Every structure is written in structure tokens, then in C-alpha cells.
């Protein structure tokens, strides 16, 4: 159930990532994905000992929530600046 919410965010991030790549800012997309990976590892390190498999699912969801916020904020700002 937890990962089904993460799946919705994955779809949002796919669209946002494509928008970033289409503007030629591939390194920005790489940075967002790197930060997502770091967030996932950090949340997993914290939550897996407490909740085991559910902790990994929660870590994935939390990392995707952060990733979505970063990317949506960036894409909105990016397209606001583009004529």
C-alpha cells in the first residue's frame, strides 16, 4: 500500500525529469537523482531497523516526496523564466 503512493510520485517525477532534460539541463536532473539516492539511503538507514520491510517502503516514499518537491519547484521556476 505504501509503495502504491510512491508509484504516483514516480510518474510525476518521470514527467518532471523529462521536462528538465528537454531544456538541456541533464546535469540538474542528475543532481536531483543523486539527492534522491542520498535521501533514500538516509531514510532507509533510519527506518529499516525500526520497521523492517515497512521501513524500506516508508523510506522510498519519503525520498520520492522530497524528490517530487525539488523537481516540481525547479520545473515551475524554470518554465516561469522561459519566454
CA atoms of 56 and 73, how far apart (whole Å): 26
Burial of residue 58 (CB within 10 Å: 0-12, 13-18, 19+) is buried
pLDDT at 83: 62
pLDDT at 81: 75
Burial of residue 72 (CB within 10 Å: 0-12, 13-18, 19+) is middle
List the chain pLDDT tens, one digit each, 83 residues: 999 999 999 999 999 999 999 999 999 999 999 999 999 999 999 999 999 999 999 999 999 999 999 999 999 998 887 66
Phi/psi at 82 (nearest 5 deg)? -75, 130
pLDDT at 51: 98
pLDDT at 82: 65
Answer whether 28's CB lies under 8 Å from 82's CB. Answer: no
Amino acid at each position: 500500500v505504501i509503495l502504491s503512493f510512491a508509484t504516483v510520485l514516480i510518474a510525476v517525477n518521470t514527467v518532471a525529469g523529462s521536462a528538465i532534460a528537454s531544456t538541456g539541463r541533464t546535469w540538474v536532473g542528475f543532481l536531483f537523482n543523486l539527492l534522491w539516492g542520498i535521501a533514500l539511503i538516509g531514510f532507509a538507514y533510519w527506518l529499516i531497523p525500526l520497521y523492517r520491510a515497512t521501513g524500506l517502503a516508508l523510506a522510498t516514499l519519503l525520498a520520492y516526496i522530497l524528490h517530487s518537491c525539488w523537481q516540481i519547484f525547479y520545473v515551475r521556476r524554470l518554465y516561469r523564466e522561459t519566454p
